[in-house]
Structure 1
Amino acid sequence: MHYRPHEFAKIAGVTVRTLQRWDISGKLIADRTLGNHRVYSQKHINQLKGLLSDDIKRSVVVYCRVSSEAQRPDLENQVKAMDTFCNASGLKIDQVIKEVGGGMNFKRKKFLNLLFRMLSGQVSMIIVAHKDRLCRFA
């Protein structure tokens, strides 16, 4: 199956202009049609996976949160449970983030730092005990 540049850009999570730059620089060379149009295939997807994994060391992060200081013992229980889960699942944990703060407070420093790291591609997976541990809404 062949992908046109805008289709492949969606798969890759980059812009068409980035694909053009990669083609020019030789980082990811596209195949050409008889009309000299760029097309991409499964081999380009595999090559792209290699490019992304080589560029950035992406980490697995466990995020544990409780709402108040009175629940701090529960925080340690969350960490132990997540460690057990990850070991049973064969996941290697790179970092454990523990935070005390409300789920509706979107100004938690560790939470914001984790989001920025995830958006920049430094974090491959965030593991939480319950879906509301990250935030209550959104």
Structure 2
Amino acid sequence: MLVKEWAEREHLHPQTVWKWCRTGKMPVPVEHTPSGMWLIHDPKYETPAPSDAEQSRTVCYARVSSADQKADLQRQADRLKAFALSMGVEAPEVVTETGSGMNDKRRKLNRLLADPTVGTIVVEHRDRLARMNSGLIESALKAQGRRLIVVDDKELDDDLVRDMTEVLTSFCARLYGRRAAANKARAALKAAEHA
């Protein structure tokens, strides 16, 4: 399991757990993957795989916004598959899609979310799943006994900046259309930084 998830279950701060991993003070077995991730193998939280193989499907979901990013899409899919294999998944499925993260018009993602046999969805960044409200999707999956794994879940901005970016992106999507919304929001934030 990921550091953040284990820290949450143990009521610890993730920074403390990362420090313990690096200094070798973890009370449970840990694994440092070649990609630099720390995986925690706590026996009290690890459940044996279900006997029904369909229930344990792990799907890697990769998305880009436009067709001219096909090379990025393939590299993203390869990184996700390597991550899933390092987690011990024997045959991870990879689903790739080209579409906007601003709306819900993504057939392949909708199919994954509606399929109860998909137990784990792996994405590289939260915005690859959805530009806004990915936390709601994660909560819905968790309520069904499923989970979302975000490979690179580090926060690039603080909460206020991230929230402001989401609001600006939403407004820009209404004003300028969904395709230009992200660029307009970035430009507005850049202007605000230099003001």
Deviation of 1:123 (Å) = 0.9
Report what 1:61 is aligned to.
Answer: 59
Does residue 69 of structure 2 align to residue 71 of structure 1? Answer: yes
Deviation of 1:56 (Å) = 6.8
Does residue 126 of structure 2 align to residue 131 of structure 1? Answer: yes
Distance of 2:128 and 2:74 partners within structure 1: 14
5 Å matches for 1:15-94? 53-54=50-51, 57-58=54-55, 59-94=57-92
Q: In the superposition, relative to structure 1, how do residues 126 and 93 fare at CA in structure 2: closer, same or farther (>3 Å)?
A: farther
Aligned partner letter, 1:79: A
Paired residues, number: 86
Conserved? CA contact 1:56–1:122, under 8 Å: no
Deviating beyond 6 angstroms after TM superposition, the runs of 4 or more aligned structure 1 residues are none
In the TM superposition, what whole-angstrom CA distance separates every residue of 1:95-134 from its partner, at most 9, and x where no partner exists? 21000001012021101101101xxx31110000111111
Report what 2:110 is aligned to.
Answer: 112
Q: Which gives a bigger RCO, structure 1 or 2 (Cα 8 Å, sep 6+)?
A: 1
Q: TM-score, normalised by structure 2?
A: 0.40
Conserved? CA contact 2:58–2:93, under 8 Å: yes
- Unaligned residue ranges in structure 2 (runs of 5+): 1-46, 134-195
In the TM superposition, what whole-angstrom CA distance separates every residue of 1:23-43 from its partner, at most 9, and x where no partner exists? xxxxxxxxxxxxxxxxxxxxx
Aligned partner letter, 1:57: E
Q: TM-score, normalised by structure 1?
A: 0.55
Report what 1:42 is aligned to.
Answer: none
State which structure, 1 or 2, has the greater radius of gyration over its C-alpha atoms.
1
Distance of 2:86 and 2:59 partners within structure 1: 16
